[in-house]
Structure 1
């Protein structure tokens, strides 16, 4: 989440007039995240999130995201719901951008997750995968292994200005991942971006998942690998095996991993780390002037890759089977 597009009071009032959500009381830009423009809306009808789609989100993908959120909620997963206007349409246009209003989800994200948070996340992730099994739409992952070399090509010339030797490290990782990326794993709808700021808790209880705008059809274990990267390293890039064990155990309490998924977990974790290094690197080098946005540090994942390169088995991530 971020703010790239400024919305005037007049434009927002006109946009909201098509919805039955009451009169606008306040509107505040949300600086977290890097992908889309987001505002917190408070109206006489309640609290909502307004999203204007920017950057990597393609217009043709939006029905997948919006229908998916409705599908998952209908199956009991706590996630935001698109608000339809009086004509029954969820997707509109505001300031020249595709735009949608979604329901506000109660809860707070945790900055320093612990073992219990990781276990709850694992269960929720497996629940998401189960809830999506009968979703009738498909969206290929356009940020999977085939996209990484083209993505890096646009940043390679400047990579060493961010960290000496970064370009060579990325090239070496790309060679390993392209040669060994697994296929044929159990697949379906995945979130693909389930960082700590996209998971809400009320007290110790997980209250919901948000930000489905990278959701796609891919390997379930890759989604687990993304979470292991996002949740189980500390600020010094040390992997906490007890947190990894809790996350995997929580997941397997709902959906046990296959032998092929267990075998693939190290390379999936390495690939997930490289994917976020690359997208963060591109964002770091291309922040629009004047945008209310906080680009995330790509070197976080450069440091995490040090661990992944030496990990040889799922047990290194806490798997205990």
Structure 2
């Protein structure tokens, strides 16, 4: 979450007049994340999130995101729900941006995830993949392997200012992934952004998945790969096998992985690391002046990519294949 677009009080009051959510008591911008402008609203009816969708989010994709949250909630997945206007709309405009109000979920994201957190995420991700099987809308993943070359072209000219040799490493890795990216693996709806700051907990109990604005249709195991990178490393960038085992085994208890998915997972994890490295580099070099946002460290994912390049099989993630095979 972040704030790129400021909202004047009178504009907000007019916007809220179309909703039955009580009278506004206070609102404040939320500076975490990098994608959209977000505000926490307190009204006489409770707390809500207001999101203004910035340029990276295509307006035409918003019905997919908002519809998916409703679909998942109907299948028992705890996630925020769009609040409708009196006219039944979930999307409006505020400060020149598409905007929506989302209900508030209790919980905080874990700053230091442990194995129990990782297991809960694995279980929730598998349930999301199963729940998404009958969601009728489709959205291609614009940030899958075919979308990485344009990101590389944006980031490459200045990459070596952060890390000597980074441009060449990314170029070689992109060439390799474009040639070897797996095909014919199970696909469906994926979250694609289930980082710790998008998963809420009350203690060690998962209380909600949030921020579905990268959700799309893609390889299900790619979502697993994203989470391996996001949840199973320590602050010193070392890989935590205990966390990975907890995550993967919990996922496998809900949805078994095929042999082909297991064989492909190390390569998918390399791709997931490169994708985040590239988008973080682009964001690092292109923060709008005055934006209330702190870009995330790209080199965190340079280090994760280097680890994933060394992985030979699922055993390097601490898991024997027999526990995960369909």
User: If the length of structure 1 is used for normalisation, what is the TM-score?
Assistant: 0.99
Q: Which runs of 5+ in 1 are unaligned?
A: none
Following the alignment from structure 2 to structure 1, what is the Cα–Cα distance between the partners of residues 163 and 170?
Answer: 11
Which residue does the alignment assign to 1:315? Answer: 315
SS of the aligned residue for 2:133 comes to coil
Aligned residue for 1:285? 285
**Shift of residue 319, structure 1, vs aligned partner:** 2.4
CA distance in 2 between counterparts of 1:182 and 1:316 reads: 20
| Distance in 2 separating the partners of 1:4 and 1:54 | 8
Distance 1:183 1:318 in 2: 25
For residue 318 of structure 1, report the CA deviation from its aligned partner. 2.4
Corresponding residue of 1:31:
31
Distance (whole Å) between structure 2 residues aligned to residue 204 and residue 196 of structure 1: 13
SS of the counterpart of 2:89?
Answer: coil
**Deviation of residue 247 (structure 1)?**
0.3
Report the alpha carbon displacement of residue 317 of structure 1 after superposing the two structures with TM. 1.6
- Partner of 1:77 in structure 2? 77
SS at 2:121 equivalent: helix
Of stretches 2-11 and 301-310 in structure 1, the one that deviates more from structure 2 is 301-310
Cα deviations by residue, 1:81-121 (Å, 9 ceiling, x for unpaired): 00000000000000100000000011111011111111111
Once residues 259 and 172 of structure 1 are traced to their aligned partners in structure 2, the CA distance between those partners, rounded to angstroms, is 27
Any residues of structure 2 matched to 1:255-266 within 5 Å, and which? 255-266=255-266
Question: 1:203 and 1:153 mapped to 2: Cα distance?
Answer: 42
Q: Is the 8 A contact 1:270 1:305 kept in 2?
A: yes
Q: Which runs of 4+ in 1 moved over 6 A?
A: none
* Contact 1:129 1:220 (C-alpha < 8 Å) held by counterparts: yes
Partner of 1:111: 111
Equivalent position of 1:190 in the other structure: 190
Give CA deviations for 1:19-49 in whole Å, capped at 9, x if unaligned: 0000001101000000000000010011100
Structure 2 SS opposite 1:107? coil
Give the C-alpha shift of residue 306 in structure 1: 1.2
RMSD over aligned CA atoms reads 0.6
Q: How far has the Cα of 1:236 moved from its partner?
A: 1.4
Contact kept in structure 2, 1:140 and 1:216, CA below 8 Å: yes
Distance in 1, Cα, partners of 2:46 & 2:149: 45
Distance, in Å, in 1 between the alignment partners of 2:114 and 2:202 is 15
Shift of 1:55: 2.5
Match of 2:274 in 1: 274
Distance in 1 of aligned mates of 2:317 and 2:60: 37
Contact persistence 1:245–1:320 (CA under 8 A): no
Shift of 1:154: 1.2
Instruction: Extract unaligned runs of 5+ from structure 2.
Output: 322-326
Give the whole-Å Cα distance in 1 for the aligned partners of 2:209 and 2:236.
26
- The separation in 2 between residues aligned to 1:175 and 1:237, in whole angstroms, is 25
Q: Tell me which residue corresponds to 2:10.
A: 10
Which residue number in structure 2 is paired with residue 220 of structure 1? Answer: 220
Alpha-carbon distance between aligned partners in 1 of 2:249 and 2:185, rounded to the nearest angstrom: 19
* Contact 1:248-1:318 within 8 A present in 2 as well: no
Q: Tell me the equivalent position of 1:44.
A: 44
CA offsets, 1:167-212, max 9 Å, x none? 0110111011111100111110000000001111112211110000
Please give the alpha-carbon distance, in whole angstroms, between the structure 1 residues aligned to 2:167 and 2:47: 45
Q: Distance in 1 between matches of 2:246 and 2:198?
A: 19
CA distance in 1, matches of 2:319, 2:179: 25
Three-state SS of the structure 2 residue aligned to 1:206 is strand
